[in-house]
Amino acid sequence: MTYCLGILLEDGLVMASDSRTNAGVDQIATVSKLSTFATPGERVITVLSAGNLATTQAVISSLRHAWGNGDPHRDLTLATSLFDATQKIGDCLRDVLAREASFVHPYGDPSASFLVGGQIAGEAPRLFQIYSAGNFMEASERTPFLQIGETKYGKPILDRLLRHDTGLPEAAKLTLLSFDATMRSNLSVGAPIDLLLYARDTLEARRLRSFDEGDPYLAGLRQGYAAGLTSLVAALPTPDM
Amino acid sequence: MTYCLGILLEDGLVMASDSRTNAGVDQIATVSKLSTFATPGERVITVLSAGNLATTQAVISSLRHAWGNGDPHRDLTLATSLFDATQKIGDCLRDVLAREASFVHPYGDPSASFLVGGQIAGEAPRLFQIYSAGNFMEASERTPFLQIGETKYGKPILDRLLRHDTGLPEAAKLTLLSFDATMRSNLSVGAPIDLLLYARDTLEARRLRSFDEGDPYLAGLRQGYAAGLTSLVAALPTPDM
């Protein structure tokens, strides 16, 4: 399984993914599910991947191969908006599935989904979710975050605390707490967590950090949250019954 | 959907369920999913139900009808242990599905699952989960809680704070926080929350309370938790990136 989270904020975007891939409990590996395509000063496109690893890697490889090659259907340097870029990625997913799905079906599920977040000069930052069918929907102020993969364990803390006007550093912290909740409750989601902070209008993807299992900040955050939550709940009254 | 939670503690049991039933968003009703069968001083058997409502109601009605009627396959007053009682309930589920499933399948899923918690004099309190197949597994010190239905949103807080030696009132509070997390993140789980506290060796089921949407304790708990969580997370450091 996988957990990927994209957040659309007034100040920019947070894009994050875990790194565990598994086909059964005895075939576990660490892969990157966060891919960045950028021309500094002009466009930043971040893609988070969930689902069949062969499918997602085929899509990402095709996009890397086409970057700057002038192919009107694949080249993300030609995308005139993030909507246009997302449509190209969705079309690429459809092409990969058209080629692979019938061969994969006897063995498993070939489907995949993506979160696409970024900014192209002339637009505000935008965030999209591409479904397995290749169609997609966009985040808005009212729905400031999108998730794919193992989404439920990490949703309550976001529902409670995340808002469209949350600052980037605060949103990064909430993202790591959301991943921590997911990793504690589900073995198939695992570190390192890849986290990209994108500040609106910077048009570069430099604030990227990978948090591994022993990362001191992550360890301190977990410990502080666990201790604080224990005290918080202990201080609340018990029901009279 | 449904959320049911059973907790096995040193001090006894907590059994809780939401009350929403739905077949699509425009056919929503409130039902009780917590049923208690008791002979004070001798046995207390609590059943929490999830899944197809016709199936779960048929099972519960059959068990009520058979209570004290001497039927060796159905009468829970004859169960010699909670294992035995759970087997009778699982068998009853199989009989209902044998009768109904083929008629229901064209329209939807006839399956159901149950949590069975309680105590029969001579044994310690026990807690079981009955799968749709009618087979079942038992909670233990290492797995002190079992969930059925919409289980994921409410699991992180239990994973973090619930232990086998947690007291009954604290566990009741955690149960309500787990339900609150679920109800905030999923519309198909809704109040009132039915909550039973069973203190070990009391052999009676009197500490039963229903928390509706406007319950003052529940409102205070939600508010205190939300405010405390906001302060807690705000006080944690942000990542350096």
* Span B156-190, pLDDT tens digits: 999 999 999 999 999 999 999 999 999 988 877 88
A37 inside domain = yes
Looking at chain B, the whole-number percentage of residues with pLDDT higher than 90 is: 88
DSSP B154: T
Res B124: pLDDT: 97
- In sequence order, the 6+-apart residues with CB closer than 8 A to the CB of A44 are A36, A37, A38, A118, A119, A198, A203, A204, A205
Whether the CB-CB separation of B175 and B8 falls below 8 Å is answered with no
CATH number (domain holding residue A153): 3.60.20.10
Q: Which domain holds residue B197?
A: 3-235
| In a domain? residue B76 | yes
- Asked if B169 lies within 8 A of A236 by C-beta distance, the reply is no
Q: Collect all residues of chain A within an 8 Å Cβ-Cβ radius of residue B230.
A: 160-161
Q: Is B111 exposed, middle or buried (0-12, 13-18, 19+ CB in 10 A)?
A: middle
Structure tokens at A119: 């900014």
Q: Does pLDDT of A28 surpass 80?
A: no
Arithmetic mean of pLDDT, B70-88: 97
Kindly report the nearest CA distance between residue A143 and chain B, in angstroms: 13
Lowest mean pLDDT segment, chosen from A11-25, B63-77, B98-112, B165-179:
A11-25
| Mean pLDDT of all residues in A132-156 | 94
Residue whose pair of structure tokens reads 């985040």 in the numeric block: A139
Question: Which residues in chain B touch residue A237, judged by CB atoms under 8 angstroms apart?
Answer: 173, 217, 220-221, 224
pLDDT tens figures, B6-21: 999 999 999 999 988 7
Question: Does any domain span residue A241?
Answer: no
Q: Are B11 and B200 in contact (CB under 8 A)?
A: yes
Contact B174 A238 (CB under 8 A): no
Instruction: Identify whether A239 is part of a domain.
Output: no
- By C-alpha distance, the chain B residue nearest A208 is B241
Q: E strand or H helix at B147, and its extent?
A: strand B145-149
Counting Cα atoms < 13 Å in the Cβ hemisphere of A7 gives 32
Residue pair B138/B126 in contact (Cβ under 8 Å)? The answer is yes
Specify the pLDDT at position A189.
Answer: 82
Q: What's the mean per-residue pLDDT of chain A?
A: 94
**Closest Cα in chain B, distance from residue A12 (Å):** 14
CA distance B137 to B83: 10
Do B155 and A185 make contact, defined as CB atoms within 8 angstroms? yes
Contact A209/A175 with Cβ under 8 angstroms? no
Per-residue pLDDT, A31: 77
From A168's Cα to the closest Cα of chain B, the distance in A is: 9
Give B66→chain A minimum CA distance, Å: 30
Cα B121 to Cα B221: distance, rounded to the nearest angstrom: 35
Of A151-160, A181-190, B90-99, B213-222, the range with the lowest mean pLDDT is A181-190
Compute the distance between CA of residue A46 and CA of residue A117 in angstroms, rounded to an integer. 5
Confidence (pLDDT) at A225: 95
Give me the pLDDT at residue A20, please.
Answer: 82
Q: What is d(CA B194, CA A8) in angstroms, rounded to the nearest whole number? A: 38
pLDDT surpasses 80 at A22: no
Q: How confident is the model at residue A239 (pLDDT cuts 50, 70, 90)?
A: very high
| A-chain residues near B169 (CB < 8 A) | 238-239
The pLDDT value given to residue A32: 84
What is the share, in percent, of chain A residues with pLDDT greater than 90?
88
Pairing of strands A3-9, A12-17: antiparallel
As for how many domains chain B has, the answer is 1
Closest-CA distance, B120 to chain A, in angstroms, reads 23
Would the pLDDT of B150 be above 80? yes
Residue A26 in this model has a pLDDT that exceeds 80:
no
User: Which residue of A lies nearest to B159 if distances are taken between CA atoms?
Assistant: A185
Coil, helix or strand at residue A178? helix
Q: Cβ neighbours of residue B71 under 8 Å, at least 6 residues apart?
A: none
Give the pLDDT confidence score for residue A96 in this predicted structure.
97
- CB-closest option in B156, B174, B241 to A172: B241
- Of the listed ranges A9-23, A97-111, A114-128, B18-32, the one predicted with least confidence: B18-32
Q: Summarize pLDDT for A199-215 with one digit per residue, the tens.
A: 999 999 999 999 998 99
Residue B80 placed within a domain: yes
- Is 80 exceeded by the pLDDT of residue B118? yes
The pLDDT of residue B25 is above 60: no
Measured in angstroms, the CA of A23 and the nearest CA of chain B are apart by 22
Given pLDDT bands bounded at 50, 70 and 90, which one contains residue A89? Answer: very high
Within-domain flag for B241: no
Residue pair A121/A87 in contact (Cβ under 8 Å)? The answer is no
Give start and end residues of each alpha helix (H) in B43-81. Answer: 53-66
The model's confidence at residue B207, banded by pLDDT at 50, 70 and 90, is: very high
pLDDT greater than 60 at residue A25: no
* Nearest chain A residue to B209, by CA: A241
What is the predicted pLDDT for the residue at B142?
A: 86
How many beta-carbon pairs under 8 angstroms link A with B?
Answer: 128
Task: Verify whether the Cβ–Cβ distance A185 to B224 is below 8 Å.
Answer: no
Instruction: Tokens for A99, please give them.
Output: 């080629």
Quick one: pLDDT at residue B216? 96
Read off the pLDDT band of B203 (50, 70, 90).
very high
Q: DSSP letter for A238, please.
A: P
Cβ-nearest to A172 among B152, B177, B238? B238
- Which one of A156, A185, A235 has the shortest CB-CB distance to B184? A156
Cross-chain Cβ contact A225/B233 below 8 Å: yes
Task: State the average pLDDT over residues B56-70.
Answer: 96
Residue B139 lies in a domain: yes
Q: Omega into A192 within 30° of 0, i.e. cis?
A: yes
| Domain membership flag for residue A157 | yes
| Residue in the block written with tokens 């918080």 | A232
Beta partners for residue B7, in sequence order: B14, B145
Structure-token pair, residue A88: 């190209």
Chain A residues with at least one Cβ partner in B under 8 Å? 152-157, 159-161, 169-170, 172-174, 176-177, 181-182, 184-185, 195, 197, 207-209, 211, 217, 220-221, 224-226, 228-230, 232-241
